Structure 1
């Protein structure tokens, strides 16, 4: 039986877990001492109840991890073809939004120019009336 224990010293909740884990280790070792068997606790040697030193970085290196524990890209259950289709659709939506935005800006610009022309015409008529 083995226990891996790596506890960072900066979490308060971890200290509570450490106290519980230490008591659990003491209980298990006392039970195993009565019977037969070997009990190993792997972890940082700072803890008195750790029997074998094992570094967390050595444990988590990519070459030591099994394939099922390595990170996989998140695909939301989509195939590669479906992801490409959604990506193309989103690009199309962005382009369509861009063109619509440009159209609205041109329309507003023309409306401003027309308002300026109307104001100039009104100014000319007022000037001629005086």
Structure 2
């Protein structure tokens, strides 16, 4: 009896944040939707012919609470924005989710994940 091959799980390459910020909103949405679809397809181990459809809701494609939490963390760490898990679970489509995320990227608040945008008390004294 042959052992089945072990599948290597790799994360999909995240879109470059600098390029996303420089892109127009339509391109930003397209790149985020592509990233989310690729990540869900990979994580759910779907064959290419059954890839995640950006026009369908996440919940209709196998995204439950655990997967939504994983996607939340992935988006937060790669896009440097806060993502509400309910936004993922209640999205009418992956494209709609991508649009909502894209709108948050442009002028998002400073976070500890983005050291360039964090200001300390020492910065004010030096200025």
Structure with higher strand content: 1
Greater relative CO, 1 or 2 (CA 8 Å, sep 6+): 2
> Which category describes the TM-score, using the shorter chain as reference length?
under 0.3
TM-score (structure 1 length as normaliser): 0.25
TM-score (structure 2 length as normaliser): 0.25
Bigger Rg, which one: 1
Structure with higher helix content: 1
